[in-house]
Structure 1
């Protein structure tokens, strides 16, 4: 598969739609966005062209918007220029996204948040949290119900029904987007407490008891997931020092305030000591245990104690793992750190000697970095405590495809691609 084989034919509509989501919801390419979230279509086309996407026209983008069944986008003509925006789903702040405040608690029979069963125990205790997004999302029914356009991914198997009158009485504000997604910023911590859940249904199975885990507490796996949310992504907005450390006592207190029972310092220490991927680091500071994530942050950490990699030959391979469904976009536009502070690499394939972390198990594409070439171009690589290699990318947070030494479809073979000399920076 030559790297530039798609330059003449362009991306498929699905791939183009995914790229529009990255631009309009998440700020990829750092294009100028007005206070309502609109971006000039011409600016998007020029950014796509600079990133190697060929034959993307205004008509292509208009077709994507007009045929999108979920109503993710909105087009308008402004001073003879087409502009487009995402109707909801943002991680970037939009000053005035034209959402309609929902004031009638009975306007919709059901307002539902969809999630996965693997997340339920944590949600039952700590509630829903908007995480990196600006809002928590709800739909006005289950997928397939009348009037439901968007708001619940198809992989969801748990439906959380919001008690709308109770939430409104408590001061939670609900908004409706153009595509009938209901949005809520949550409370001052960005969450919706479980007391506002009217009922919870395991789709296709039946209704679930909300508080079934309070007496026994969470499993180690579930606590580890919650620690990731706290230490990498800033859940509960706990105080974090310049090196990314948070007081364990403060974490335990936050867990208790959010309904997590029987979480102790010893339990957290055990999770850190037994974590095979080395995600966490513990230390004693002034007789207080503190903990941090070793990498993977979306929150900014001033001085995370990474070691800069200066020896280009220290590791034989430095590899980024991804999925085949992302490859065509990456081959043209490169790797992008998105909401994280760094792009992640591992020092080999999972299972190889010395490899601790850095590549999710679901990856089927391995992108090998040309380390000498990347360093000569000024890209800085850092090594975390658990041997994950990190790179902020260039000024736009990306690593250009010209720095890929080779790309392998794991278990299949090498994906051959040509040098993108025609690529415009």
Structure 2
């Protein structure tokens, strides 16, 4: 989800430790090509009954058909233009002849070992019954339903923890996620007996929902020979990021619930885009990395951000920043090849419902095929079970 509700004060007590905390592993000799597999680690196996016992967002028996094996894939990618290795989890159903590859991109998690980032990194999952809700429900559920599921950790988590995560900046997120997809394809072709014809499904929730929709766009524009996107499914993603951003930035004098992670998004967009402005031009307090951007002194945007920065963004005078915001919004301006399925609770207080409304309208206007599931009274975290079940049904029809 976008925010776990960790008190800002608690983060403050930990910041001096967290800022400099990271894990290190011995360097692994990696291939030069992006998307190449560096290492495969066996993580475990579960039969379908064990899969069901680990799913708590819905009755998993409605989905589970196959036993599963799962592996951590280390693969070569790049970060801000330089080589780096990252990881993801690939979950493979047993007894399936044709591979239907599905990538799931997870929602926001604070990038700190002390706050549990290692427990939510998909590649660290080893079959536990109480860790990593997204792996246990989405990953295991869809794999046991017959899909080969790939779940990237993201840069900034797993073996790259301690590296600034390109939070909410879709172009940079796509680089490592795309390379993970290429590694997953290589795994299917070389390490399984399944037939694979480039079919791809995409799904995500919250931050991951925006990532999955943007991945649909970027894959069909940049990698049409590698993958054929048959469908994508997105729960509560901030698809109209420009509107979402300006909505939060414009609430001067108000308490913005998600201010710590909104501030993180502003920091990330500035760092990973072409903007790269000194942070003292943006913030009213010292910001020197992602964790300090999260440690906001207030939930009021007028107290967090410089007045001239806010004013110029909101009145349209900051054309360079506005260009980046629009480029980071994928609710319109392209025609999807393959079906888009949107999901949103209409009482979502974290990522407003209008994001999926705008995406539906933009995709329809472009001539795309879209299905929109509205969950009356649903919030940001309450509809995971419906999302999993409805996504499964939709994707099964597209196989």
Structure-2-length-normalised TM-score: 0.27
Bigger-Rg structure (1/2): 1
Of Structure 1 and Structure 2, the greater helix share is in 2
Structure-1-length-normalised TM-score: 0.26
